[in-house]
Structure 1
């Protein structure tokens, strides 16, 4: 059974490693190519876009794919929509793997916003020194802001930048101690982040809670209607095993 894993996440790499070691599975992982030095999964890897849902559908047919696992970043809404559409057009099963989002705890000062544009509007009245930790995409939305920004990303943003900023290139995981020191050293007054979930970068939220720093939390884009969804690698592997044995994977919530 030939499986396309749309990846770029820890979950995608773990699933590729498990499935590649099992008989009866031929795994191809696909990465968007937006990170210069990505962490590569086990097995065959392709890098780059497909050309929308139509291009993906053609690629699926040309490469004899039997099922798709969408284990992309929770904010890769365009790729997720294309995967769902291409799978429906081709009559293929597709599973979306999404780790749980972060949960607000006592002492947190979160302000939820629906998207990056809303965050750029809301941040204006929350403080002059902003920790912008949304990756390199979306930074341009803050280009007209008058505040000072600490921008942390793996690779440099390639669009417009705020007038006043410091660029910090780094890849997690980050410790609570280091995140607390960073917020204190840069005198951060407000944090802007995406509800990515997971332990890799959660320490910044713990640090913000301890220091009383408000957090603008950008909500995830919704999954396509009727999507099969699981939250763990174990559940995704069980779905693949059922699909490989000819069983009905069904809808997983």
Structure 2
């Protein structure tokens, strides 16, 4: 027994020595692991660095060209600019989508999902899915877009319209209200909100909002007519969802 206790003391002593020697190695390994896990984030941040003033101005003009319904011109300006940046790439994908080249656009959007423009990439995928009539897929993509860019009023409107198409009226209502509260003169979200209220038979509330937003009698009549018809993804144009 005395010999056994002696051996146990030696064994525990050796075990303690091993632990002491291993601790610095484990700490170093953990530090290296943490550094490696942070490297992708640094790379993404570097890729999304602030643009030079001239590039930012050029992309702003290209963005406006897309908003004006001139995707081919926007793509030409992008080619001429030579800007290599995620913001330029998402505009390229938008231009391809708006000009009917959705497969090429989708490839770019998917590559951008891990970048600083992921919210806009999810939005693009959502609009492609909506245009194809894949409403549930569109809802999921736009949910991700809204989570990434919660104060982007156009995305809240798009998401709301898809929710309305998916018969999720209460959720859609809150998205439209969020959009019009973020940007008070956002006409499209206001029209979609009124359309939803008319479809729900809440005419009194719709009329109150119409007065608040300055919606004309002619516009209200048009929205009431739309409310009596089945909703369709065909109401989605190439850049925005819902009624104009």
TM-score past 0.5 threshold: no
> Looking at CA atoms only, which structure, 1 or 2, has the larger radius of gyration?
2
TM-score computed with the length of structure 1 as normaliser: 0.27
Q: TM-score, normalised by structure 2?
A: 0.27
- Higher normalized helix content (fraction of residues): 2
